[in-house]
Amino acid sequence: MIQFLDFEKKTKVIFKDKNLLKQAFIHRSYINENGASSLSHNERLEFLGDAVLELVVTDFLYKKYPNYTEGELTAVRSALVNAIIISEIAGDVGMNDYLLLSKGEAKDFGKARQYILANTFEAFIGAMYLDQGYEVVDKFIAKTLLPKTEEIVKKKLWRDAKSLVQEKAQEFVSVTPLYKVLHESGPDHDKHFTVGVYFGGELITEGKGKSKQEAEQSAALAALKLKNWLD
């Protein structure tokens, strides 16, 4: 049985309700394989955490960049809370060691794991909000995620990635990028998409998101990084 004492020490967030903390790490596949568990999977907590995370980041950006337009603030926020960055933060704080997954999911360390980590981070934010309140969540996000803001703004990673990929691809390889949905899962109210960006017939990178548009932006940003086209 996974114990979360070391994780609590590392994050300096000690939960009053240990079951709530554990639930944040329970993937749907684990419940499907261990039906007798008294706890549910983390998707409701993820739903809550997504909203809390967006509020914390929005409040921070609104105060930090008073001269940015609504569109610019939205773009920076989207770049900051995308699955790639959030999964990196989740990995940095050690969440990967505590995931409760099915045996099949536990063997997959590719793109699927990245997406699971991002969702777990949001679920943990939701659990922390319920257990500790807004101020503790605000401090945790300020310590773990918000330091990424400087890099995003300095390198202008908030720019529309699809537009930039199209501009660079036409300039350097004389093609127009094409986006294809490679995979979609989940019920209608909670769809998850994997989209590939192609140059000609070649798959360059993939991206994930809760909408096709978000997944396309994620794939485009990954392509920009891969091709070293971020100036």
Catalytic residue among 50, 131, 206, 214: 50
Query: Who contacts 133 (Cβ-Cβ below 8 Å, separation ≥6)?
Result: none
Is residue 46 part of an annotated ligand binding site? yes
Catalytic residue among 17, 33, 122, 188: 122
Is residue 228 part of an annotated ligand binding site? no
Burial 183-207 (b: 16+ CB within 10 A, else e): eeeeeeeeebbbbbbbbeeeebbbb
Q: Is 50 a catalytic residue?
A: yes
CB-based contact 154:73 (threshold 8 Å): no
Is residue 119 part of an annotated ligand binding site? yes
Q: Is 160 a catalytic residue?
A: no
Residue 195 phi, psi (nearest 5): -120, 140
Amino acid at 56: V
Binding residues for Mg(2+): 46, 119, 122
Return binding residues: 46, 119, 122
State the catalytic residues.
50, 122
